[in-house]
């Protein structure tokens, strides 16, 4: 970890920002018995909150009874309410684009970048129009696209592995880098392009390409790297058997401070909205506190891709165990940890997911479509 003292300073500032100051007036009021310190106030407030809460509940029950018992006498306007266990949000399929087999999706530079065999397509996310097609070598499904650091990055298994840098200005490849293994995941963050590769010698390596110096970091060795995400001060890697994070500056690998107590098999990971979201393909999605490693919520849905935007966690997962079957698209509210409405089902297995604000783009390799899903309030 570079510069421990700098980080201590940052931590101290953060710690202090959460604690309000004690004023001379407050001290005098406490001395005069006219006030109590905040913790006691909160406890009293808790009791007061209970009383108010109970009163509010009773009032709500009475209101509900009035509505149920006296519908004919009230207004003719129909009042509908969402079930208590679900958010009132509903997602809908806005559009389906036919683009060919989609291997990966990324959003950036006002465009949706779609990786398909032998090419990357630049699509206008509003109109669905393909604005440019950039030929890239390799026609395998193992293509990954990511955006950031002034470029669009495509990792493919061409040869032993290749990383192409596409300029969003010229829509052409400006540089290619030979990788020492087949790419398994790709992300951009903290001034580097992070590529997880599977070298021929086994295991997994994570490489960081500095987008300023264009030099690769030393390989960071892991047992496996199925998914990678940059955010919340670290690079998070799902290794299939645990979650690890890489300090993006020192490149040191750590586990979460407090390992999860139960066996955990994360295959996808996304950092966002203050949490780490890790999906176990066949069982569910865990919301993990990055500070403690504690699983704060566990949602029983299949999850093969996760994307986090403000107020939305988008998840795709198979409806059945079949590799070619339909997929569900879930819109999860991070404030309640609940699925908004019913999941949307799309044909084919979701192979890629990208999201921005309240819209998600779900790609399939077969039948080769991009489904645009929007969340409405």
Nearest Cα to Cα of residue 104 among 357, 268, 305: 305
Q: Does 357 bind another protein (CB under 8 A)?
A: no
In the complex with another protein, the residue whose CB is nearer, 27 or 94, is: 27
Cβ at position 308, least distance to another protein in Å = 12
- 314-353: contacts with another protein (CB under 8 A): none
Cβ at position 154, least distance to another protein in Å = 26
- 292-321: contacts with another protein (CB under 8 A): 292
Cβ at position 214, least distance to another protein in Å = 21
Q: Which of 214, 252, 310, 357 binds another protein (CB under 8 A)?
A: 252
Q: Does 213 bind another protein (CB under 8 A)?
A: no
Q: Does 257 bind another protein (CB under 8 A)?
A: yes
Going across the sheet that includes 111-116, the strands are 104-108, 111-116, 119-123, 130-135
Cβ at position 29, least distance to another protein in Å = 8
Listing DSSP states for 269-320 in one string gives EEEETTEEEEEETTTEEEEE-TTT--EEEEE-S--SEEEEETTEEEEEEESS
Distance CA 140, CA 306 (A): 22
Q: Does 28 bind another protein (CB under 8 A)?
A: yes
Per-residue contact string for residues 224-243; x = within reach of another protein by CB under 8 A: -------xxxx---------
- 31-60: contacts with another protein (CB under 8 A): 31-33, 37-40
Cβ at position 229, least distance to another protein in Å = 13
In angstroms, what is the C-alpha Rg of the chain? 25
Count of residues in the chain: 377
Q: Find all residues with CB under 8 Å of 5, minimum gap 6, and list them.
A: none
Q: Does 218 bind another protein (CB under 8 A)?
A: no
Phi-psi region of 357 (alpha: psi -120 to 50; beta: other; left: phi over 0): left
Q: What is the number of helices (H) and of strands (E) in the chain?
A: 3, 29
Q: Does 73 bind another protein (CB under 8 A)?
A: no
- 2-21: contacts with another protein (CB under 8 A): 2-5, 7-16, 18-21
Nearest Cα to Cα of residue 360 among 153, 95, 168: 95
Output the furthest CA–CA distance in the chain (Å, rounded). Answer: 79
In the complex with another protein, the residue whose CB is nearer, 171 or 247, is: 247
Distance CA 99, CA 194 (A): 27
Pairing of strands 344-346, 204-210: unpaired
In the complex with another protein, the residue whose CB is nearer, 123 or 234, is: 234
Q: Which of 74, 221, 291, 345 binds another protein (CB under 8 A)?
A: 291
Distance CA 348, CA 338 (A): 25
Sites of contact with another protein (CB under 8 A): 1-5, 7-16, 18-24, 26-28, 30-33, 37-40, 231-234, 245, 247, 250, 252, 254, 256-258, 274-275, 290-292
């Amino acid at each position: 970890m570079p510069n421990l003292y700098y980080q201590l300073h940052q931590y101290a500032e953060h710690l202090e920002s959460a604690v309000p100051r004690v004023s001379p007036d407050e001290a005098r009021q406490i001395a005069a018995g006219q006030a109590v310190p905040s913790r006691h106030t909160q406890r009293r407030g808790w009791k007061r909150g209970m009383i108010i809460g109970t009163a509010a509940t009773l009032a709500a029950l009475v209101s509900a009874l009035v509505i149920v018992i006296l519908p004919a006498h009230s207004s003719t306007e129909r009042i509908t309410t969402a079930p208590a266990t679900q958010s009132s949000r509903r997602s809908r399929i806005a559009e389906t684009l036919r683009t060919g087999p989609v291997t990966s999706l990324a959003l950036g530079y006002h465009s949706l970048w779609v990786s398909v065999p032998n090419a990357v397509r630049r699509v206008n996310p509003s109109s669905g129009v393909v604005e440019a097609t950039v030929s890239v070598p390799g026609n395998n499904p193992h293509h990954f696209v990511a955006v950031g650091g002034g470029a669009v990055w495509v990792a493919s298994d061409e040869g032993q592995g290749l990383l192409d840098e596409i300029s969003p200005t010229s829509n052409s490849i400006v540089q290619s880098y030979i990788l020492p293994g087949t790419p398994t995941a790709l992300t951009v963050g903290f001034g580097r392009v992070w590529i997880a590769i599977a070298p021929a010698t086994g295991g997994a390596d994570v490489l960081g390409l500095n987008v300023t110096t264009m030099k690769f970091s030393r390989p960071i060795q892991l047992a496996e790297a199925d998914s990678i995400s940059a955010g919340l001060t670290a690079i998070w890697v799902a290794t299939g058997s645990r979650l690890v994070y890489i300090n993006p500056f020192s490149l040191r690998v750590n586990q979460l401070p407090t390992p999860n107590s139960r066996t955990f098999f994360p295959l996808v990971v996304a950092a966002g909205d203050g949490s780490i979201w890790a999906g176990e393909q066949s069982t569910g999605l865990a919301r993990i506190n990055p500070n403690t490693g504690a699983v704060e919520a566990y949602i029983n849905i299949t999850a093969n891709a996760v994307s986090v935007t403000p107020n939305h966690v988008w998840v795709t997962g198979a409806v059945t165990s079949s590799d070619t079957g339909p997929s569900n698209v879930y819109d999860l509210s991070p404030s309640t940890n609940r699925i908004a409405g019913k999941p949307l089902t799309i044909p084919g297995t979701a192979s890629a997911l990208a999201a921005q604000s309240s819209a998600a783009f779900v790609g399939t390799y077969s039948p080769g479509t991009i489904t645009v899903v929007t969340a409405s309030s």
